[in-house]
Amino acid sequence: MRVTPRIRVSRVKKGKRRRGEKGKAYQSFVVGYFPLSPFPPKNEKGLSALPAKTNRLLIRVFGIILGGLFFYAGLQKHYHVYEFAEAVLAYKIGPVWLAGVVAAVLPWVELITGGLLVAGLKRRSCLLIIALLMASFLVVMLVTLARGLNIDCGCGLFFQKQVGLVSLLEDLALLAWAGGLYWWELKTVASGQ
């Protein structure tokens, strides 16, 4: 891992002085980043200082991993449709016919968005759909926890997982991942990299 050293930079400000100094005042600040930081270093414009190829590669790799997770979750829900339909019915949020529609449509939405994200097609649209799905899953789980229901999550990655703090944190992490990738993608497109 390449570590960018911290560099002390001084700028001259006319007319102001530090206490106890004669002459021109200097304002110094540290430029750089910590080597263990999860965020890439920034340049003067606030954009990623990583080379354009590295930036695109990281976006692509993180998108492939997220798309693969959603493709796998959709595949599990598609192959175990009866278990997934029972999990949707257990939430007791809407009528039975709505649970059937959700159990029929949601696996295909996850399969298509995950597959397109892995293929690198319509990335921003897929990231936006995934972020909206995760936000809606969070709302449904919070309502379920508030009602005191002890049911299976039906998440697709792991069946037989209870709705609770772990599933909420997992969905929150996936929402942050999708939202972060969407924002990073927008910044990269806006900067022309």
Long-range contacts of residues 144-151, Cβ cutoff 8 Å, at least 24 apart: 144/91, 149/90, 149/91, 149/92, 151/87, 151/90, 151/91
Dihedral in degrees, nearest 10, Cα atoms 13, 15, 21, 22: 120
Report the C-alpha gap between 91 and 99 in whole angstroms: 9
State how far Cα 124 lies from the chain centre: 12
For residue 166, the model assigns a pLDDT of 83
Q: What does the domain layout of the chain look like in residue ranges?
A: 53-191
Report the C-alpha gap between 92 and 136 in whole angstroms: 15
pLDDT in tens, the chain (193 residues): 555 545 444 454 555 555 555 554 444 444 444 444 445 555 555 555 566 677 778 888 888 999 999 999 899 888 888 888 888 888 888 888 888 888 889 999 999 999 999 998 888 899 999 999 999 989 988 888 888 888 877 776 665 677 778 888 888 988 998 888 888 878 877 776 5
For residue 32, the model assigns a pLDDT of 43
Q: Which residue is listed with tokens 């200097």?
A: 26
For residue 37, the model assigns a pLDDT of 45
Element (H, E) at 30: strand 25-31
For the whole model, what pTM was predicted?
0.67
